[in-house]
Structure 1
């Protein structure tokens, strides 16, 4: 028959083992900014959505949605939405409602959580009708798209 002392030792050992991995508090992830530059001659009526790629149900994967008119102009004064979502992988979908075209981009974080940095995605509406995406990169081998 197990003694009370043996029972308490086993319970304490189990509790310590269960809490061993919980001693570190995860640091909050930095927030991602979205910048849109329109160098076309006409305004762009933009719809933008961010989806988490690890969620199967599309309605549950949606983490950000916005509609905005981006006036024509040069790239010196882009439109920016700050702190849109935390720095995690996303599928970013943009829709140019005036041209009835849509594009998407797979964002993957490239910077370490240990180093402070400004992160963001830049969407550029080119004069030829195309769209270019780029993002903040920290590693030397990561392409700057």
Structure 2
């Protein structure tokens, strides 16, 4: 009589790392315990962080208020749709105003703010360096 393992157990046994195959029962028990503690801590952390806003959600109203104070009297587009163009020599890039607000741009970075990225005819809102 043959004592072959069922297919799924044979596959698990075949793919099991050698360090785990060579571990003692006490070592595997310790590993199991620590994995369970890790999962429990992860669930607690997820619960604790559930009430924290995302960075984008937190920053969106702050950016909106800052733009209103930097550009009074101008009708400004939504910060997710508007485009900031960084024209640093050799470093051209475009991103949404919200994405740009989350970057660490240098104070002397030449920027252009556009209402959208649609088409080639950008209407420039403002060039310069807004001061808070």
The verdict on a shared fold, with TM-score over 0.5 as the criterion, is no
For normalisation by structure 2, the TM-score amounts to 0.31
Structure with higher strand content: 1
Give the alignment's TM-score, normalised by structure 1.
Answer: 0.29
Larger radius of gyration: 2
Q: Compare relative contact order (CA 8 Å, sep 6+) and give the higher one, 1 or 2.
A: 1
Greater helix proportion: 2
